[in-house]
Amino acid sequence: MDYEAQCVLVQHIGQAGDILQPLLPSSPRHPQGRNAYAHLWMCIRNRYGDYKLLENQMLPELMEYVNWLVANPS
């Protein structure tokens, strides 16, 4: 993924994290609250691996996945 596509993804995840932060359910493993931004990055890494190694054509799919994560907080 080139630098411009990475910037678009990082900006999208920043906005999604702002929305997701109050929606994440509490967890006994995170007594001070969960980090929505870390949650989004972890989910992307678990599903796709290193996002920097993906092709630019994957950007719409990544953004759709982030939107799905916001709509379905877990």
Mean pLDDT of 18-27: 88
Q: How much is the pLDDT for 33?
A: 80
Is the full-model pTM beyond 0.85?
Answer: yes
Query: Is residue 72's pLDDT more than 90?
Result: yes
Tell me how far apart the alpha carbons of residues 26 and 20 are, in angstroms, rounded to a whole number.
12
CA distance 63 to 13: 8
Q: How many domains does the chain have?
A: 1
Q: What is the pLDDT of residues 34-52, one digit of tens each?
A: 899 999 999 999 999 999 9
Torsion of CA 57, 60, 64, 69, to 10 degrees: 70
Question: Which domain, by its residues, includes 36?
Answer: 3-71
> pLDDT per residue over 5-22, tens digit each?
999 999 999 999 999 999
DSSP letter for each residue of 2-30 = -HHHHHHHHHHHHHHHHHHGGGSPP-TT-
pLDDT of residue 14: 96
Report the C-alpha gap between 36 and 72 in whole angstroms.
13
